[in-house]
A and B are shown apart, each in its own frame.
Chain A
Amino acid sequence: MAEKKRKIFSVKIAPQECKGCSRCVNACPKSVLKIQENINQMGYFFATYTGDGCVGCGACFYNCPEPGAVTIYEKSEE
């Protein structure tokens, strides 16, 4: 019981909401975000999560000028 729960974070960037300004990519302390090589419906090279290493700091969320492009999830092991 007293054992500390390990938390796993992940970030999801909605491809259709991203305008590819790359503020999140620059802000990420762990450099786990990158700009995609293909474009979204609006014609922007959008950002994605590389899939590993998010620490849930929220830097990308607060740097992102779009309201709902970035969502940060938190998983905790039972």
Chain B
Amino acid sequence: MTEKIKLQRPKGFFSKFDRRPGPVKTNMHYCPGCGHGIMHKLIAEALADFDMQQNTIFIAPVGCAVFTYYYFDCGGISVPHGRAPAVATGIVRATPDAHVISYQGDGDLAAIGLNNFLQAANRGENMVVFFVNNAIYGMTGGQMAPTTLPGQKTVTCPNGRSTVNEGYPLKVSEMVAALDSPVYVERVALSTTKNIMQARRAVRKALQNVINKKGFSMVEALSGCPVNLNFNAQEMNEFIDNQMMSYFPLGCLKDIADNRDPIKRPVSIYAKNKVKAVLFPQAVDGGVDAEFENPSELFKKERRIKCAGFGGQGILSLGMMIASMAKLRNFNVSWLPSYGPEKRGGTANCSVVLSRSEVGSPLIDSDCNLLIAMNQPSIDKYLPELKDKGVLLYDSSTASAPENIGNRIVYSVAASNIAEKMGSIKCANSVMLGALAVILRDYFLEKDDPQDFDRVFEEAILDCFSHKKNTIRLNFNAYYAGKKAALEILQSSTVKG
């Protein structure tokens, strides 16, 4: 006589649930008769049988199954409510060889996370979603879910779900099967032995699709929540088989995995310098070495700069050039444009923050160091935000000098007029930049290397217009014209003074 074990605790589970708090380390935390336990078992068995635990990342939902990392002997990650497919997308794009399993309930997937889920399905990410549908919110005490059956009584619909008020249950599998990307969609039930064995086949097929990189697979499992629905085991199965199945018919809704080629993704890059090269492919001529830091005390403080004017004057580009300039000198930079209908005509503005340490808020609504205004409304609107002893630079061809400037320092240059003479009013922003290069000399630079200061402005123009090569020359000319004009103004004022 030889005795062997035919069926035992699946190897996909930890042999002891050490992560689970409390004295019990062999049981799950689920209520008696819970469908999650059955589904977990089927998945754990398949994980071990396919020898895929090393490469598997199991994404825990919010809901009763939030503690899957107690149980499954594979990689695990817990995510906010409904976001499992979004996180799974990130994982599977960064590590294309990972087998990503998203395990979600009906409140998680069909309510808050429906868009995340549908978009991931539509992109055809190589992942499997196990959707456990028990027709209510189980963990929170049995509230109405999107999949609650018509007429079914729950805590939040004590008179039964009304299709007039709450609509009909969401048929998630049918929705997903209607999309082109998913390769495998099946609805199974965790009720009778026959249905459970069909569920086992479906789970295995879905995991096999992930291993073969076929794309998006989903298995919807109709599951019981006997405690919240107040059923015993027999009644629970009858409820699933008779009532849930009449609304959610079982069966394979889509299986086109055999006709699909495996998904191929580019090899991931992790090395820091290589990532930088991919993100910033445009090499800028000149520049300083990566360790360079201007020793001036002034640069230790955060600089908060606001550019404002009419849409189309190049306000955002001007802000971008200033930000690039700081970027080239190893500042931490934020550039925040104001988005809105004003972007096409009307007023536009952007906030630029330069800092040696981390940039706090990219938003500037007070304590502005430098305001660059290219029209009258901008001066009127943003001057109160300018700090005492802050600098205002405005375009004297479109705006006039403000009153009540206090201790603020004011410069102006007729940028639009100069730009128009240069051939295009569009380059007024570069004229402003040129003026800035002159006036900032004393204010921002103090007594540091002036050549380096000039060079950084030129590099910023090159950097910003690198995708519009034919405008670089024009902008350079405008920049020098702006510089010249500002110098003239400065000299005449010192002569007068």
A residues sitting closer than 8 Å to B (CB atoms) are 9, 14, 16-17, 19-23, 25-27, 42, 44, 56-59, 61-68, 70-78
Contact between chains at B36 and A58 (CB < 8 Å): no
B32 touches A17 (CB 8 A): no
- Which residues does chain A contribute within 8 Å of B226, judged by CB atoms? 21
State whether A63 touches B193 (Cβ < 8 A). yes
Q: How far is the CB of A43 from chain B (nearest CB, A)?
A: 11
| A63 x B38 contact (CB < 8 A) | yes
Which residue of A65, A71, A78 is within 8 Å of B7 (Cβ)?
A71
B196 at the A interface (CB under 8 A): yes
Q: Determine if B424 is an interface residue (Cβ-Cβ < 8 Å).
A: no
- Residues of A near B193 (CB, < 8 A) are 27, 57, 59, 62-63
CB-based contact B41/A23 at 8 Å? no
Q: Chain B 7-19 against A: per-residue CB contact (8 Å), 1 yes, 0 no?
A: 1111001000000
Neighbouring A residues of B192 by C-beta, 8 Å: 27
Chain A interface helix/strand/loop/mixed: loop
- B5–A71 contact, CB under 8 A? yes
Q: Which residues of B contact A75 (CB under 8 A)?
A: 1-4
Assess whether A65 is in contact with B33, with CB atoms less than 8 Å apart: yes
Taking a contact as CB atoms under 8 Å apart, the answer to whether B26 and A17 are in contact is yes
Instruction: Say whether B27 faces chain A, with CB atoms less than 8 Å apart.
Output: yes
The answer to whether A65 and B4 touch across the interface, beta carbons within 8 angstroms, is no
Number of interface residues of B (CB under 8 A): 39
Given contacts A17-B26, A21-B233, A22-B233, contact A65 B5 (CB under 8 A): no
Interface residue? B107 (CB, 8 A): no
Nearest chain B CB to A46's CB is how many angstroms away?
Answer: 10
| Top 3 A-B residue pairs of the complex, sorted by shortest distance between their CB atoms | A65-B37, A21-B33, A68-B9
* Cα of A59 to Cα of B232 in the assembled complex, Å: 18
- Report if A19-B27 is in contact (Cβ < 8 Å); known contacts: A56-B6, A61-B7, A71-B7: yes
**Complex Cα gap A23–B1 (Å):** 31
B35: CB under 8 A from chain A?
yes
In the complex, whether B197 has a CB less than 8 A from a CB of chain A is yes
Residues from chain B with Cβ under 8 Å of A66 in the complex: 27-28, 37
What residues on B are CB-neighbors of A23 within 8 Å?
33, 233
Q: A62 touching B233 by the CB < 8 A rule?
A: no
Given contacts A72-B5, A72-B7, contact A42 B38 (CB under 8 A): no
Q: B16 to nearest A CB, angstroms?
A: 10
Residues in A with CB closer than 8 Å to B159 are: none
Q: In the complex the two chains form, what is the Cα distance from A70 to B5 in whole Å?
A: 11
Given contacts A74-B4, A77-B1, is CB(A62)–CB(B27) below 8 Å? no
Contacting A at CB under 8 A, from B35-61, are 35-38, 40-42, 44
CB neighbours (8 Å) of A25 from chain B are: 233
B residues in contact with A74, CB < 8 Å: 3-6
Is the pair A78, B2 in contact by a Cβ cutoff of 8 Å?
yes
Q: How far is the CB of A66 from chain B (nearest CB, A)?
A: 6
Q: Give the complex CA separation of A75 and B36 in angstroms.
A: 31
B3 and A62 contact, CB distance less than 8 A:
no
Beyond A62-B196, A74-B3: 20 further Cβ-contacts under 8 Å?
A: A19-B31, A21-B33, A23-B33, A26-B234, A26-B237, A42-B27, A64-B37, A64-B41, A65-B30, A65-B32, A65-B34, A66-B28, A67-B27, A67-B40, A67-B44, A67-B71, A74-B5, A74-B6, A76-B2, A78-B2
**A residues near B306, Cβ cutoff 8 Å:** none
Interchain CB contact under 8 A, B237 and A67: no
Query: Is B36 a contact partner of A71 (Cβ separation < 8 A)?
Result: no
Nearest B-chain residue to A27, judged by Cβ:
B193
B197:A9 contact, CB within 8 angstroms:
no
Bound-state CA distance A17–B196 (Å) is: 21
Contacts of B10 in A (CB 8 A): 67
Tell me, yes or no, whether B256 is within 8 Å of chain A by CB. no
Pick the contact of B26: A16, A20, A27, A63 (CB < 8 A). A16
Does B26 contact A68, Cβ atoms closer than 8 Å?
A: yes
